[in-house]
Chain A
Amino acid sequence: MDLTAISGEAAGDGGIAHGAILAEFAEAVWDDDEARLEAARQAVIDAMGPAALIDAAGVAATFNAIDRIADSTGIPIDAARIEPTADFRASLGIDAFPSRTAQEG
């Protein structure tokens, strides 16, 4: 799996089955463009079926809210995850996010 799929920099599917379709779906959910979302939804259904759309919607719905809980309560990254994810966070620029600075500040 190409971890840059998370940042939107991976070419194609990033080593994940239908990765490009799912990444576009996630972006469209996050975006405000209804036509883009409708097209992304249909692409998921066409490639993986309606059950996949429901499950992908559930995941997107979870993380669009859980991110807000983490950011608004100022929880630190779990100690056990700091070292194993250090390279990943640095390479994707996650350590430079304002929310990371706010955690440390």
Chain B
Amino acid sequence: MATTLYDDAPLDVRADIRAAHAQRLDEIASPGTWFDAKTRVAIAAEARNAKGCKLCADRKAALSPFAVDGTHDSLGEQPQTIVEVIHRIATDPGRLTQRWYRNCLESGLTEEEYVEIVGVTCSTISLDTFARAAGTGRLPLPAPKAGEPSRERPAEAKPDDAWVPWVAAQDAGERWGDQFGPAASNIRRALSLVPDEARAWFDVVDTQYLNAEQMRDFDTMHRAIDRAQIELVAGRISFLNQCAY
């Protein structure tokens, strides 16, 4: 995708990263599978807003986040149930629980909506983290496009080993085999209940980190830092996030 993103950045940003970020922003501003574009852009904006939320700060400081009640400081465009999902993922992801996830569903969210919120929120966090890390300045969110969500749930998605239903390796079949089949890791099928979000997110991952083929190739230097250096940065970030996966 031709783009002028990062033209004003102090350093040259790789063309494939520029294209991937332009593509992802365009997707966020387009109708999704379960939300229209206006809601998706509002989710992205709320992900950016989470850092200033007092309730989230108080919960982060507490021994248990579930011991602190209150109302999120939000932009006011989303129901509190959606704000709760966005803010918790943004500010305290390492202490999420399956019970919390179930409470979100009991509060009115569907499983499919939850997964789409995860995809948009985490993509926004990723693009913003890149901007901050590289010193490029955060990209503005685009205006939402008209249109309706597709509302297509893959028939192969079922409850299995994750909290959310997913397309399991043995159920991927011909339609999803390349994306979620036996060769895919669990993280690649985490968002498979909303396949467009899974594909879109991994288009970003494949560019910012390594694609599946590059990950298996330890003999070639695919980036300006070598594989050990890449895994050090990745591992240090995941350790600080206290992510066990």
Chain A residues in the interface with B (C-beta under 8 A): 1, 5-8, 14-19, 22-23, 25-27, 29-30, 37-38, 41, 48-78, 89, 92, 94-95, 97-100, 102-103, 105
Given contacts A16-B229, A50-B12, A73-B118, contact A26 B240 (CB under 8 A): yes
**B129 touches which one: A19, A25, A64, A75 (CB < 8 A)?**
A64
With a cutoff of 8 Å between Cβ atoms, the chain A residues found around residue B98 in the complex are 74, 102, 105
With a cutoff of 8 Å between Cβ atoms, the chain A residues found around residue B161 in the complex are 75-76
Chain B residues in the interface with A (C-beta under 8 A): 11-14, 17, 85, 88-90, 93-98, 101, 115, 118-119, 121-123, 125-127, 129-130, 132-135, 161-164, 166, 185-187, 189-191, 201, 204-205, 207-209, 223-226, 228-230, 232-245
B135 adjacent to A7 (CB under 8 Å): no
Given contacts A59-B209, A66-B205, A73-B164, contact A54 B240 (CB under 8 A): no
With a cutoff of 8 Å between Cβ atoms, the chain B residues found around residue A1 in the complex are 228
For chains A and B in complex, what number of residue pairs have CB atoms within 8 angstroms?
239
**B205 touches which one: A62, A71, A97, A98 (CB < 8 A)?**
A62
Complex CA distance for A54 and B134, rounded to whole angstroms: 6
Complex CA distance for A17 and B228, rounded to whole angstroms: 8
A68 adjacent to B224 (CB under 8 Å): no
B237 adjacent to A30 (CB under 8 Å): yes
With a cutoff of 8 Å between Cβ atoms, the chain A residues found around residue B132 in the complex are 29, 37
